[in-house]
């Protein structure tokens, strides 16, 4: 079936991988990338698809209700995949208002525009879907009940490498209550509630997914992995928050994009799916892996840059552990990660080292000034 789909936030990190997958895999679908181009949006991420006949870029703020409503009418939009958001926890600590505006009010503006447009159509909700992309951070923090790590009860391709440990007994399942701690996760939790409310109140076909930390090409270098790869390359200090004991569950970004494709086309309306690879890592272990990998790929002695590790003041309210239980998605829709973590890191480091021009563009000039102001403890 031919569809017209708005992908919001398509110029950002995960969004560009989703846009690329949909534009290439579904030439019969029209893909509209709606993005405000904040500091995190970069059209250079989409050079390879910008001339495709089924791709269109629209620079727009999701909070612009009138603009979004008109676009939906003019383009006859029947699907929305909503990724646009403010996404960095450290920024949310400094500037929570921007997070409430974009993540909460922006999502509400999209929902209301979709509701008015879809309700005005003869077929109403038939063939429509509002797919909201959220994060595992809404569930709050899990405890580090096994600080040394134990053999985990589940595994996937992502966790099939040498390192394969779980640092606690509990995992995030879809039925857990929301307990967000940061302004970022609080704003995402609020947007998730609005999406479910539009289903429960008006009958809008919605789906919500909560994914763990993503890594891979085109991630903005304020996040751990690209920031540290770039700092190791330039032999700049690596600011490790607290003791580096915090645990995150990592998924290669293209595996997330494939999960989004599967759920958009085959997911059950009103359901929530958690997306993750059962791939927990302590920050300090990832940092050491990054140092070894960058050193080796640059022809340096492996590990010679360990002296760059600099322990700094911990992030306020720093969540200790995230660990997703994604068995529902595997069981019901057959999705699994395709890449083992060490392989994914190898590819990711290679990409950032090969794309220094991309990195220089996003870290240069005005941006760096803003960056320095925001993060004065580095
Ligand atoms: P990102 O910060 O890299 O990109 C966000 C994009 O949204 C940018 O292109 C930006 O220009 C755009 N945007 C921001 N405000 C906008 C507005 N008001 N109107 C229109 N566009 C706007 O984010 P990301 O890491 O790609 O995350 C995408 C989504 O996935 C977010 O909703 C995030 O909460 C969620 N998520 C991210 C991760 C992760 O590890 N990065 C994990 C799970 C879920
Ligand atoms: P980040 O990439 O910001 O993702 P999130 O906070 O959404 O999980 O951070 C990943 C982990 O790395 C998190 O525990 C915070 C830590 N971290 C550092 O120790 N130093 C840094 O400079 C950054 C950006 C993150």
DSSP secondary structure of 70-136 = HHHHHHT--EEEE------HHHHHH-HHHHIIIIIIIHHHHHHHHHHHHHTSTTTTTT-EEEEEEEG
User: Which mutation among 11, 41, 57 tests ligand 1's pocket best, with the greatest number of atoms within 8 A of CB?
Assistant: 41
173-189 mean pLDDT:
98
Residue with CA nearest ligand 1 atom 17: 61
- 145 sits in the region (left: phi over 0; alpha: psi -120 to 50; else beta) called alpha
Find the catalytic residue in 137, 222, 245, 255: 137
For 300-353, write each residue's pLDDT tens digit: 999 999 999 999 999 999 999 999 999 999 999 999 999 999 999 999 999 999
Tell me the pLDDT of the chain averaged across its residues. 95
Active site residue 322: no
- 218 sits in the region (left: phi over 0; alpha: psi -120 to 50; else beta) called left
289 has a pLDDT exceeding 60: yes
CB atoms within 10 A of CB 373: 9
The pTM (predicted TM-score) of the whole model is 0.96
Active site residue 273: no
CA distance 279 to 323: 8
CB 191 within 8 A of CB 134: yes
Give the Å distance between the CA of 249 and the centre of ligand 1.
18
365 has a pLDDT exceeding 70: no
For 4-63, write each residue's pLDDT tens digit: 999 999 999 999 999 999 999 999 999 999 999 999 999 999 999 999 999 999 999 999
Active site residue 169: no
Nearest atom in ligand 2 to the alpha carbon of residue 137 is 7
127-153 mean pLDDT:
96
Residue with CA nearest ligand 1 atom 10: 41
């Amino acid at each position: 079936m031919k569809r017209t789909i708005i992908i919001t936030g398509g110029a950002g990190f995960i969004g560009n991988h989703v846009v690329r997958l949909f534009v290439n895999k579904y030439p019969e679908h029209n893909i509209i990338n709606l993005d405000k181009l904040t500091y995190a949006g970069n059209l250079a991420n989409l050079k390879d698809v910008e001339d495709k006949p089924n791709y269109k870029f629209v620079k727009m703020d999701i909070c612009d209700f009138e603009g979004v409503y008109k676009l939906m009418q003019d383009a006859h939009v029947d699907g929305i995949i909503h990724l646009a958001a403010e996404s960095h926890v450290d920024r949310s600590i400094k500037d929570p208002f921007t997070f409430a505006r974009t993540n909460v009010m922006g999502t509400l503006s999209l929902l209301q525009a979709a509701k008015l447009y879809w309700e005005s159509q003869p077929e109403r909700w038939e063939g429509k879907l509002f797919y909201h992309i959220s994060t595992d951070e809404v569930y709050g923090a899990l405890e580090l009940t096994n600080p040394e790590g134990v053999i985990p009860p589940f595994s996937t391709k992502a966790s099939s490498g040498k390192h394969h440990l779980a640092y606690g007994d509990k995992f995030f399942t879809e039925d857990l209550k929301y307990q967000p701690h940061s302004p970022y996760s609080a704003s995402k939790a609020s947007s998730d509630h609005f999406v479910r409310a539009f289903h429960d109140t008006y009958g809008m076909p919605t789906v919500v997914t909560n994914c763990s930390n993503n890594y891979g090409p085109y991630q903005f270098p304020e996040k751990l992995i690209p920031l540290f790869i770039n700092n190791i390359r330039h032999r700049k200090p690596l600011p490790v928050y607290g003791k580096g004991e915090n645990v995150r569950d990592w998924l290669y970004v293209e595996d997330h994009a494939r999960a989004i494709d599967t759920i958009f086309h085959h997911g059950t309306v009103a359901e929530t799916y958690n997306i993750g690879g059962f791939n927990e890592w302590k920050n300090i272990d990832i940092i050491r892996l990054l140092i070894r990998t960058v050193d080796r790929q640059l022809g340096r002695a492996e590990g010679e840059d360990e002296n760059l590790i600099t322990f700094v003041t911990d992030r306020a309210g720093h969540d200790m552990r995230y660990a997703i239980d994604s068995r529902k998605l595997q069981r019901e829709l057959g999705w699994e990660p395709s890449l083992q973590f060490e392989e994914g890191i190898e590819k990711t480091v290679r990409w950032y080292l090969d794309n220094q021009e991309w990195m220089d563009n996003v870290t240069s000039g005005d941006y760096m000034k803003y960056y320095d102001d925001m993060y004065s403890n580095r």
